[in-house]
């Protein structure tokens, strides 16, 4: 791991980074935890439209299940007429769809929220963009004879908690989101078969929504009248309905499940603390919003005016574009801030909205560099 990698790891002891090296992305990911698995992408990788799979962050509550336990996804319960049990090869009868989407953990940036909150102290690296190939959840539900009165789809992976007292990772999404044509059951990532760490053989893709909805090792799909219950619906992955002062606790009444991730941008380079050569340089990074396409990205150099960056890549809700901003690197210490605006008019804020779990951090990203 290079110097920047260590800087990004912050407080993490070097020893656990070495443990991660043995199996995580050949040592290219930053380890925040092993059990649960919390492996982040280095910021320097966010200068590409497609995040290479070996650099793609991994976040698993219990780790992957034994493959043999999860060859099929079962579509069942009282709200389907024809329960189905489908392996990857059975999906060939449905239309294949490939789309590009950002996968971001709701806790990405938690380590930067002020005041501090408990939980994995993620920096910026629990996000990536990939192309995902699979079939529409809607088509599979249709084939199973979905009862039109179903209001939610309950979901579970084949991964099990380490002991029965630990709550299982069960979730649900509202039926409208399940039937959205962009919601996929995927088996390929970046053109290659999905890897076990990312949910093979089958995982859910929910573009624009935070990563906790993107169920890996998808094993059970059950349309229902009610949302799923349990820790990960009733306690975890909830945000205040309206902003609350730091220290306020969440209750079922003042909170709701988080869904769409807000507008955000990140600078891949220059890296914070880096030495930059004199002359023509560029600031490069990514910008995305779960709600709408990116409308503009602006850079503030030192304390100057906000200036527009150039955008590259296809615009769209839930997918990222690259931005580039050319500047003349002059001797001294310099800094930049970036802010993105989406087509729905949302502007990335200077300070993120505080919430007790530090979800959806999206404050301006700032970097400082030196020119000799
Ligand atoms: N079955 C299952 N699905 C899961 C998880 C999990 O622990 N178990 N983690 C979720 C969370 S919190 C995130 S952010 C994403 C991470 O996906 P990745 O590891 O492919 O990056 O998977 C989601 N899907
Ligand atoms: Mo997550």
Mutation pick for ligand 1 pocket among 119, 212, 257 (CB with most ligand atoms within 8 Å): 212
**Exposure string for 193-203, b = 16+ CB within 10 A, e = fewer:** ebebbbbbbbb
Percent over 70 (pLDDT), the chain: 92
| Binding site membership of 105 for ligand 1 (Cβ less than 6 Å) | yes
Q: pLDDT category, 85, cuts 50, 70, 90?
A: very high
Give CA angle at 24 (20, 29), nearest 5°.
Answer: 85
Indicate which ligand has the atom closest to the C-alpha of 61.
Answer: 1
The residue among 157, 189, 243 whose CA lies nearest residue 55 is 189
| Amino acid 247: pLDDT | 87
| Binding site membership of 157 for ligand 1 (Cβ less than 6 Å) | yes
For 52-76, write each residue's pLDDT tens digit. Answer: 999 999 999 999 997 666 689 999 9
Query: Which residue shows structure tokens 């008019």?
Result: 345
| Amino acid 17: pLDDT | 37
| Binding site membership of 214 for ligand 1 (Cβ less than 6 Å) | yes
Taking residues 90-109, report their average pLDDT: 98
Indicate which ligand has the atom closest to the C-alpha of 110.
Answer: 2
Q: What residues pair up with 286 in beta bridges, in sequence order?
A: 266, 322
| Amino acid 18: pLDDT | 34
Mutation pick for ligand 1 pocket among 214, 217, 358 (CB with most ligand atoms within 8 Å): 214
Indicate which ligand has the atom closest to the C-alpha of 132.
Answer: 1
Q: pLDDT category, 141, cuts 50, 70, 90?
A: very high
| Binding site membership of 171 for ligand 1 (Cβ less than 6 Å) | no
| Binding site membership of 38 for ligand 1 (Cβ less than 6 Å) | no
Q: How far apart are CA 258 and CA 213, in angstroms?
A: 10
What element of type H or E holds 256? strand 255-257
For 173-186, write each residue's pLDDT tens digit. Answer: 999 999 999 999 99
Domains of the chain: 3-257 (3.90.420.10), 264-371 (2.60.40.650)
Tokens of 321: 């574009």
Residue 326 alpha carbon to ligand 2 centre in Å: 34
Half-sphere exposure of 264 (CA within 13 A, CB side): 28
How far, in Å, are 21, 74, 187, 199 from residue 196 at the CA level? 17, 19, 11, 5
Mean residue pLDDT across the chain:
92
| Binding site membership of 216 for ligand 1 (Cβ less than 6 Å) | yes
| Ligand 1 nearest atom to the CA of residue 107, by list position | 14
| Cα dihedral across residues 230, 186, 262, 354: positive or negative | positive
Query: Which residue shows structure tokens 């997918």?
Result: 319
**Exposure string for 148-168, b = 16+ CB within 10 A, e = fewer:** eebebbbbbbbbbeeeeeeeb
pTM of the model: 0.93
In 10 A of CB 43, how many CB atoms? 24
For 253-267, write each residue's pLDDT tens digit. Answer: 999 999 999 999 999
Residue 372 alpha carbon to ligand 2 centre in Å: 40
| Binding site membership of 263 for ligand 1 (Cβ less than 6 Å) | no
């Amino acid at each position: 791991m290079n110097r920047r990698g260590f800087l990004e790891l912050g407080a993490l002891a070097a020893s656990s980074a070495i443990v991660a090296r043995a199996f995580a992305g050949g040592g290219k990911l930053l380890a925040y935890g092993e059990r649960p698995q919390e492996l982040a992408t280095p910021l320097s990788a966010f200068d590409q439209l497609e995040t290479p799979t070996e650099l793609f962050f991994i976040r698993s509550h219990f780790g992957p299940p034994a493959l043999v336990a999860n060859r099929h996804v079962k579509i069942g319960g009282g709200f389907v007429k024809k329960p189905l049990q489908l392996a990857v090869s059975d999906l060939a009868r449905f239309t294949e769809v490939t789309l590009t989407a950002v996968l971001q953990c709701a806790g990405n940036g938690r380590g930067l929220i002020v005041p501090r909150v408990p939980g994995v102290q993620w920096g910026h690296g629990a996000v990536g963009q990939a192309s995902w190939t699979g079939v529409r959840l809607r088509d599979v539900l249709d084939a199973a004879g979905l009862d039109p009165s179903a209001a939610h789809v309950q979901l579970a992976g084949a991964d099990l908690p380490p002991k029965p007292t630990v709550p299982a990772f069960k979730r649900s999404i509202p039926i409208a989101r399940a039937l959205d044509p962009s919601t996929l059951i995927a088996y390929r990532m970046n053109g290659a078969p999905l890897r076990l760490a990312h949910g093979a053989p089958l995982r859910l893709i929910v573009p624009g929504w935070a990563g906790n909805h993107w169920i890996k090792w998808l094993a059970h799909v059950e349309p229902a009248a009610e949302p799923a219950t349990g820790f990960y619906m009733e306690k975890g992955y909830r945000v205040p309905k309206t902003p609350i002062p730091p220290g306020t606790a969440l209750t079922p009444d003042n909170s709701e499940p988080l869904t769409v991730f807000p507008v955000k941008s990140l600078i891949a380079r220059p890296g914070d603390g880096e030495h930059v050569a004199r002359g023509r340089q560029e600031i490069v990074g990514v910008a995305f919003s779960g709600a709408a396409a990116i409308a503009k990205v602006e850079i503030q150099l030192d304390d100057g005016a906000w200036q527009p960056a150039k955008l590259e890549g296809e615009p769209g809700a839930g997918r990222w574009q690259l931005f580039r901003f050319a500047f003349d690197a002059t001797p001294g210490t310099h800094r930049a801030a970036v802010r993105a605006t989406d087509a729905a008019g949302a502007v990335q804020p200077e300070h993120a909205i505080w919430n007790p779990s530090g979800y959806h951090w999206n404050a301006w990203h700032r970097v400082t560099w030196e020119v000799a």
